[in-house]
Structure 1
Amino acid sequence: MARYDTEHKAQTRARVVDAAGRRLKKDGIDGSGVSALMSDAGLTNGAFYAHFSSKDELVAVVLADQLATQLDTLRGLPDDGQALRTFIESYLSASHRDQPEVGCPSAALLGEISRSNSIVQQSYTDGLEAMISVVADRTRIKGRVAARSVAIGVMSILIGALQLSRSVSDPGLSDEILSSGLVNASLLLQA
């Protein structure tokens, strides 16, 4: 019986993390109360503390989970020089822009992460560091320092361009921001 309970608790926790990931990216950290987060997972508020000690812990776990998923995607790319460019094109797409709840947590939550407490920021830092390392490996740029610098630049362009494209009211300007981000990220990769 205990094995089922442990397994059931792990499945329930995973369901909460998954549902919270979508809600947080859609409504933001501050715009997502515990009640809404638990309701999305089909649970009551009372069940929250069986899985998390605080909302900050949940946000940290969600970020770790979301960034690990992105990291798995990056690691799974063929190391052929083209796959990273294809990833960038997908990242800077209108589809990604228009569906924040299923997209990148960085572009959806970065402003709030910067104002969050240390557990949230550490979770984000750990995930970002891992992604920088994988992107640096995929750049095909000689020299670890140069590859890391380009990886940070590319990620900054991707996240910033997606955030900007979501923030403007002019659809034409939004599309132009995505296109410019793609051009600039590609230029960095040619270094």
Structure 2
Amino acid sequence: MARYAKEHKQVTRQRIIERAGQRFKQDGIDGAGISTLMSDAGLTNGAFYAHFSSKDDLVSNVVAQELRTQAERYGTLRPGRPGLEDLVREYLSHEHRDHPDVGCPSAALLNEISRCGGATKQAYTEGARAILDEIAARLSPEDPQSARGRALGLYTMIVGTMQLARALSDQKLSDEVLEQGIENALAFLH
């Protein structure tokens, strides 16, 4: 009986984290209160504190999970540089721009994460390192450390491009930003 309760609690906790990740990327961290987050997960407000000590605790767990999932997904791309080309095209797609709730947490939340507490920044730093390590390993499999600067360049290029594309009210200009971003990132890779 206790084992079931523990497993049930873990499943419930994971559901809260997943739904909160979508909500945060859609409405922002400050744009979603505990009652909305718990409603999204199909739970009452009172259940929140059985899983998290505070909203900040939830935010750091969401950031860690979102980036871990993103890094794992990068591992399913084609090997080497062709996989990075696929990543660039997928990342800078209209679909990613138009659906931030299921996209990259960096493009959706960086400005808010920079104002968060230490636990969230630490979770973000660890997740960003994992993503940068994955990119560097694809750029230079024999010596990933030598590709660290290029990995940083590529990642900041695509994240910044997506943030700019989302901020524009002019759809045509936003499309142009994405297209030019793909062209720039692919040129950077070669």
Interval of TM-score (by shorter of Structure 1 and Structure 2) = over 0.9
State the partner residue of 1:116.
Answer: 116
Deviations 1:113-163 (CA, angstroms, capped at 9, x unpaired):
001111111000000001101100111387545411111011001110000
Letter in 2 for 1:53: S
State the partner residue of 1:78.
Answer: 78
2:5 is the counterpart of 1:5? yes
Q: Provide the rounded CA distance (Å) in 1 between the counterparts of 2:46 and 2:102.
A: 27
Cα root mean square deviation, aligned: 1.3
Question: Percent of aligned positions with the same letter in both sequences?
Answer: 51
2:139 is the counterpart of 1:139? yes
Letter in 2 for 1:130: A
State the partner residue of 1:179.
Answer: 179
Alignment of 1:85-164 (within 5 A): 85-140=85-140, 144-164=144-164
Deviations 1:61-111 (CA, angstroms, capped at 9, x unpaired):
111111111111112223143121011101100000000001111100000
Call closer, same or farther: CA 1:142–1:41 in 2, change over 3 Å. Answer: same
State the partner residue of 2:23.
Answer: 23
Which runs of 5 or more structure 2 residues have no equivalent in the other structure?
Answer: none
| Structure 1 residue matching 2:72: 3-state secondary structure | helix
Q: Quick check: 1:141–1:147 contact (8 Å CA) kept in 2?
A: no
Count of residues paired in the alignment: 190
Q: Quick check: 1:25–1:108 contact (8 Å CA) kept in 2?
A: yes
Q: Quick check: 2:77–2:86 contact (8 Å CA) kept in 1?
A: no
Q: Quick check: 2:21–2:66 contact (8 Å CA) kept in 1?
A: yes
| Structure 1 residue matching 2:122: 3-state secondary structure | helix
Q: Quick check: 1:161–1:181 contact (8 Å CA) kept in 2?
A: yes
> 1:188 deviation in Å?
1.6
Which runs of 5 or more structure 1 residues have no equivalent in the other structure?
Answer: none
Q: Quick check: 1:96–1:103 contact (8 Å CA) kept in 2?
A: yes
| Structure 1 residue matching 2:43: 3-state secondary structure | coil
State the partner residue of 2:59.
Answer: 59
Q: TM-score by structure 2 length?
A: 0.96
Letter in 2 for 1:35: S
Letter in 1 for 2:36: A
Q: TM-score by structure 1 length?
A: 0.96
| Structure 2 residue matching 1:17: 3-state secondary structure | helix
> 1:182 deviation in Å?
0.9
Deviations 1:44-73 (CA, angstroms, capped at 9, x unpaired):
111000000011111111111111111111
Q: Quick check: 1:136–1:144 contact (8 Å CA) kept in 2?
A: yes
Q: Quick check: 2:80–2:139 contact (8 Å CA) kept in 1?
A: no
Q: Provide the rounded CA distance (Å) in 2 between the counterparts of 1:53 and 1:42.
A: 19
Call closer, same or farther: CA 1:176–1:142 in 2, change over 3 Å. Answer: farther
